[in-house]
Amino acid sequence: MSNVLEQVPGQAAAMAFLAGASLRPHHAYLFAGPEGSGKSLAARAFVAALLCPQGGCGECRACRLALKDHHPNEFVIEPEGRDIHVDTIREEVWQPASRTAPEPGRKVFVIREADRLSPAAADTLLKVLEEPPADAVFLLMSARAHELPDTVLSRCHTVMFTALSEAFVVEQLTGEGVPEVRAKLAGRLAGGNLGRARRLAVSPDGLSFRDAAQEAIALAAVGPAGALGAADVVLVAAAGYKKNLKAELESELAPFLDEKGRPEDAYRGAIKRIEQRFTRKEKRAERDYVDWVLLGVSSLLRDRIAQAVAGAEAPLMNPDLIPDSTLTVQRAAAGLAGIEEARAALSEDFNLNLRLVLEQAFLRLPTAA
């Protein structure tokens, strides 16, 4: 097994299959499994194995670029807003698939959240999958593979990923030097998503969304006026997160610039794709951070309910915090229901007014007093 594929933890069966597949790849694969099961990490490793002259050594230029989604021969497609639109598939899959690869070797197309393909986009992708170029490999990823059209599914080899247990995530993090309490907190808040748990545990600002969640709960518990203030807290925190993304783009582009900070000609295509992905990420950034804050709110309210029901022995989502005993169980339950309804609504409709949804959710918290 190649080095890069060996480094993907917790999915031995899937990685063993991909190790063989990397030697003689099929034209299309579907990575299916729950959020946080390691599909993204496995995809990067598989792409590296496909593009590396040595099959995924993990050390060469091709591997280093592929493991960061920066290889010129890799095309990453993601939802813009809620969906992946037909124009995106035409411009970023169909057209590049028919052209010569930017560098010698295969072209690899990675389609994340493939279940969000619009009907027209799925039809356009199907045409490429039906007559794939000999030098192209298509990699679809989805936590809801059953929502993909059967015509698309039938043309892909499906690789199944299973959910990672909390114990496994904690073991991985503690093995990397993360204190056990921090590892448990990150694992629980990340819902078993190892990559997200690692970011929460290691980044200095990894838990800033929970700080916003605590402040929002304190405000909302006061009454209707406080609930409106809670919405402000969440939106300000989300805006700050979005603003800080600019530095991330500069860091990603740095390897492709010359000593004067100008794009190198050979990498103009890669730079354009990085900028396109960043634009999409920036559009989703505010919504994503709002959801993280709401997740933090849910975890804190859930801990209050768990403590009231099971006492001091209750397993807490936030083991480093003592639940707020001044918040009644009735208010916590009402607030929890409102928060989860808000998260579901925002995930389904990208055009909803964020402020209005947040205000309605936080107004549920004091009403059961």
Could you tell me the pTM of the whole model?
0.74
DSSP secondary structure letter of residue 84:
B
Give the span between the Cα atoms of 228 and 63, in whole angstroms.
Answer: 49
pLDDT at 369: 41
What does the domain layout of the chain look like in residue ranges? 3-163, 207-367
**pLDDT for the residue numbered 133:** 93
The domain 3-163 having CATH identifier 3.20.20.70: the answer here is no
| pLDDT for residue 32 | 95
pLDDT < 70 stretches in the chain = 1-2, 264-267, 367-369
Q: Which tokens sit at 162?
A: 């299973």
Tell me the DSSP string of 226-290: HHHHHHHHHHHHHHHHHHHHHHHHHHHHGGGB-TTSPBPGGGHHHHHHHHHHHHHHHHHHHHHHH
pLDDT at 1: 44
- Percent helix, strand and coil across the chain, each to the nearest 5: 60, 10, 30
Return the structure tokens found at 249.
């783009």
In the three-class reduction of DSSP (H, G, I as helix; E, B as strand; rest coil), residue 157 is classed as: strand
pLDDT of residue 20: 93
pLDDT at 368: 47
> Measured between alpha carbons, how far is residue 38 from residues 10, 43, 138, 165, 266 in Å?
8, 8, 18, 12, 32
64, exposed or middle or buried, with CB in 10 Å at 0-12, 13-18, 19+?
middle
